[in-house]
Amino acid sequence: MRSAEHVPAAVLDRYATGGAGIGADALWAIEAHLEGCAPCRERLGEAVARRSPETVSLLARVHANLTTEMARSRQMPARRLPRRVARWVPPGLWPRLAMTLLVVAAALGLDLAGSRVLPSLVLLVAPVAPLLGVAAVWSVGLDPAHELVVASPRAGFYMVLRRSLAVLVVVMPALTAAGWLTGASPARWLLPCLAFTAGALALGELIGLRVAAGALALAWTAGVITPSILAARTPLLLEPASLPYWAGLIAVIAVALVLRRDAYTGLRSDTWFVR
Amino acid sequence: MVRAVSAAETAATTYASAIHAEGLRVRAGRRMAVDGLDLSMDTGVHGLLGPNGAGKTTLVRSIATVLRPAGGTLTVLGEKVNGRIDLRGLRRQIGYLPQEFGFYRRFTVREFIEYISWLKEMPAAETPGAVQRAIERVGLADRADHRMKTLSGGMVRRAGIAQAIVNDPRILLLDEPTAGLDPDQRMQFRALLRQLGTDTCVLVSTHLVEDVAAACTDVVLIDNGRLVFQGVPADLAAAAGEDAGAGDSAAERGYSAILRRHRETASSPETAS
C-alpha cells in the first residue's frame, strides 16, 4: 500500500496529544494509514507513553476496572448436551424411546422365560418397534414446540427423516442385542423394520404420522403377531425367503416418499397436520 | 450491540405491502374462522383486535404459513401463500409467537432460543450474538441461563417474544404477547414494539384495547372473520362519537361502538344495502 509514506514523528506526537492543529483531511489520512501500518501504530504507542500522561492513566484505569469486573462476572456456562441432541431428538421423544426399549426388553424377557415352542417375540415385535417413536416425530401432542417447528424454515421432510433416523439409531441396537440373545438374527427383521418405518412416513404424508404409525402397528399385531402366537410358528413374512419382497416394498415406498415429500413442509388445510 | 446489515435487508422491496389479503378464507377445523377478509399491512405496529372467536389466531396462523388458505389470496412479502412457493425463504423472514407458546421445560432460555434459531436456519456464527441481543431486548438477560420451567408466566411470554425476534424478521406475528405481563413489563414491551415497528411489519393480536391505543400505529378490528375497521388509534377513539358505548377509555368506547354498529348492520342486511 502507501507504506513508503509513514506518519512523521512530529505529527504523531501531535496526534497523540489530541490532534490539535491537524486538519480533518490530514486526520483521515493519518488514521487510515494507522489502521494498515503496524510500525506506525507502535510508534504512536510510544508517542502516547511519552507525551500524554492522561491517556496512559486512563488506559491503566480501564485496565484495572476491567480486571475486577471480569473477576466478578459469571463465566458462560459450559455447553450442555441437550442443546445439540435436541436437533435430532426433541425432548418429547425421549419417553417414547424409553417405552420402546421397555417393550423390547419385555419381549426379550418373555422369550428367555418362555418355552421354545412359541416363535421368538423379539422377532415378531422387531418390525413395528420403531413405530412407537416414529409416531411422535411429527405431532403436536408429543412435541410442545411443534407449532414453532412447523412454522420454521427447517420444517419438512428433511426434519421428519432426521428425527426418524434418530429413533432408528436408538431402537436398532436394542433390537440387535435382544435378537442376539434369542437367536432372532437382524437379517430376518432388518428389512421389515425399515419397510414399516418408511411406510409409516409415506402413509403419514396422507393421513398424519401419528395415525399412520398406529394403523400399521395395529395391522401387524392383528394380522401377524396374534396368528403366529396362536399357531405357534414363525410367520412366513419373517422367513428369509420373503426378504426380496420386503426389499422391493422398500423401494416402492421410497419412491412414494420422495414424490410426496412436500407434504411435511406445511401449509396444510387438513387438521391432522397442525392439531 | 450493533449488528452488520446485509445487502438483502436493505434491498428495495418489489411489493406494495408486507401482508396483503383479498377475500381471504381460512378454515379452523370445520369452521370458516376467517371468511372473506380484505386487509393490507406494511411496516409499523398493527394491533389486531376482536372478540373471542373472531378469527384472530386463525388469521395469524395463516400469515405464519402454518394454515393453508381455503380461498381468496394471501400475499406475504410479495409471495402468494396459496400457490407452490418457496416456504423456506419466506419462513426465514417471519417471527412468530403462537398463542399457546410451547417450549422445552428443561432447556435454559438461551438454549431454547438457540434451538429456535437453528430451526430458523440462522448462520451458526451469528447465532450466539443474535440470541444474546434478543434476550437483552426483552429484558431477560439476568435469567438467560435459568431453565425455562423456573420462569414465571410473564417471563415465559418474554422468552417467547425473544425467540420470535431472534432472526430479525421482516414480519413479526405476536399472538397475545401481553398476557401475563405486569404493568411495568407491558410498558417495556410497548417501547420494544415501537422500536421494532420502525422497520418491521408487526402484527400484535390482543384483547387489551389500551395496549393497541398506546403502542400501535394502526388498528385492525375483525369480527366473524371479516374486517370491521382499520385506521389509526385516534380514529378508534373518535369512532365512539356521541353514543356512550361500554368502556372506560375513549378507545374502549370506540371499540365497542364500532362492533355494535357492525353487528347491527350485519344482522339487518336489507338496511345495509
In chain B, what are the domain boundaries? 105-168
The DSSP symbol for B200 reads S
Chain B residues near residue A147 by CB distance under 8 angstroms: 66, 98, 100, 102
pLDDT at residue B273 tops 50: no
Report the phi/psi class of residue A95: left, alpha or beta, with left for phi > 0 and alpha for psi in -120 to 50: alpha
What's the whole-number average pLDDT of chain A? 86
pLDDT at residue B116 tops 80: yes
Chain B residues near residue A73 by CB distance under 8 angstroms: none
CA–CA gap between residue B144 and residue B165 (Å, rounded):
16
pLDDT at residue B173 tops 80: yes
Question: Which of A84, A139, A148, A158 should be substituted to probe chain B, the one whose Cβ sees the most B Cβ atoms within 10 Å?
Answer: A148
Chain A residues near residue B98 by CB distance under 8 angstroms: 147-148, 151
Instruction: Please give the average per-residue pLDDT across A1-27, as a whole number.
Output: 81
Inter-chain CB proximity B116 and A152 less than 8 Å: yes
Better-scored residue on pLDDT, A184 or A7? A7
Q: What is the pLDDT of residue A275?
A: 39
pLDDT at residue B49 tops 90: yes
Instruction: Please give the average per-residue pLDDT across A150-173, as a whole number.
Output: 92
What's the whole-number average pLDDT of chain B? 86
Q: Which of A106-110, A271-275, B111-115, B152-156 has the lowest mean pLDDT?
A: A271-275
Cell numbers for A83? 442443546
Residue given cell 401463500 in the structure block: B81
Q: What is the pLDDT of residue B1?
A: 46
CA distance B67 to chain A (A): 5
Question: For A266, which residue in chain B has the nearest alpha carbon?
Answer: B66
ipTM of the complex: 0.86
Option in A80, A143, A262 nearest B111 (CB): A80
Q: What is the pLDDT of residue A196?
A: 95
End-to-end alpha carbon distance in chain A: 64
**Cα B14 from chain centre:** 23
CA distance A53 to chain B (A): 31
- Tens of pLDDT, residues A206-237: 888 888 999 999 999 999 999 888 888 888 88
In one-letter notation, the amino acid at residue B251 is A
Highest mean pLDDT among A53-57, A191-195, B247-251, B267-271: A191-195
Inter-chain CB proximity B87 and A145 less than 8 Å: no
Q: Which of A50-64, A108-122, B146-160 has the lowest mean pLDDT?
A: A108-122
Chain A residues near residue B67 by CB distance under 8 angstroms: 267-269, 274
- Tens of pLDDT, residues B182-196: 888 888 889 999 999
Inter-chain CB proximity A145 and B111 less than 8 Å: no
Inter-chain CB proximity B102 and A266 less than 8 Å: no
Instruction: Please give the average per-residue pLDDT across B176-185, as a whole number.
Output: 85
- Tens of pLDDT, residues A75-86: 666 666 657 788
pLDDT at residue B135 tops 70: yes
Give chain A's contact residues with B (Cβ, < 8 Å).
77, 80, 82-83, 86-87, 90-91, 143-156, 262, 265-269, 271, 274-275
Question: Which of A267, A272, A273 should be substituted to probe chain B, the one whose Cβ sees the most B Cβ atoms within 10 Å?
Answer: A267
Specify whether the CB–CB gap between A258 and A252 falls below 8 A.
no
Q: What is the pLDDT of residue A77?
A: 61
Q: What is the H or E stretch that residue B22 is in? A: strand B19-28
Which positions 158-177 of B are in contact with A (Cβ < 8 Å)? 163
pLDDT at residue B270 tops 70: no
